[in-house]
Structure 1
Amino acid sequence: MAPNDADEAKILDQWTHKLTQALQILDLKLDQELVLELARKSADSVTHAAAPITAFLVGYAAALEAGTGSAGSKAASTASITKAADVAFRLCEDALQQEHPHPEPGAKGWTHSAQ
């Protein structure tokens, strides 16, 4: 029997808590809906395997922009996550609008930042 949405949400919450504790990211308030939506959009607009890659890269880009450890504030972290997610969502929309949904690297995004 497959778990229902409430069971799945509970399992995901438990897993997120366990993983953040193990990674010693003790004060993280993860926006699971944002991450899941990012994964869904990238899987639908590019390819299924784009989901985890997109989620990882958005998190990585956000961490680079916000700073690490005590160098970054929660406000800076939230803003950088929003910015990185917005870039990924725009690329997904662009991919859906193209005949061949494979976005060009650097076509949009943070190309001006020389990352």
Structure 2
Amino acid sequence: MAVSNEESQVLDQWSNRLAQALQILDLEVDHELMLELARRSADSVIHAAAPVTTFLVGYAAGLEAGTGSAGNRENAAAAVSKAAATAFQLCDDGHDGGPASKGWADTAQ
């Protein structure tokens, strides 16, 4: 999901304000990844799946990054990528298919 330069600046400012308010220091948000994840989950499931999906990806990434690598940007980015890849896989499978029906052995879980 592409955003204009102006929208990108607003999104950067909002992310920075929110991260500071939540006392999350030194965070770089991959807005394009999150927007694409939201778009694909909304298209694959229902519109309301977008915020739920991005929340769960962030939560899973936070849990993984917090197991010993908290504060490390590279590990945090890798955790987001891993969790997002699992969510994208589910989006590709649609709302009725995917690993949940077969088990989670090959996912981030």
TM-score, normalising length: structure 1: 0.77
Correspondence 1:106 to 2:105: no
Instruction: Indicate the RMSD between aligned Cα atoms, in angstroms.
Output: 2.4
SS in 2 for 1:37: helix
When the two structures are aligned, how many residues end up with a matched partner? 104
The AA in structure 2 aligned to 1:76 is N
CA distance, structure 2, for counterparts of residue 19 and residue 71 of structure 1: 22
Deviation (angstroms), 1:50: 0.3
Which ranges in structure 1 are unaligned for 5 or more consecutive residues?
Answer: 96-100
Which ranges in structure 2 are unaligned for 5 or more consecutive residues?
Answer: none
Q: Which runs of 4+ in 1 moved over 4 A?
A: none
Deviation (angstroms), 1:43: 0.5
CA distance, structure 2, for counterparts of residue 37 and residue 80 of structure 1: 17
Alignment match, 2:21: 22
Deviation (angstroms), 1:17: 1.0
Closer, same or farther in 2 for the Cα pair 1:11/1:17, shift >3 Å? same
TM-score, normalising length: structure 2: 0.81
The AA in structure 1 aligned to 2:74 is A
* Deviation sequence 1:36-66 (CA, Å, 0-9, x none): 0000000011110000000000011111112
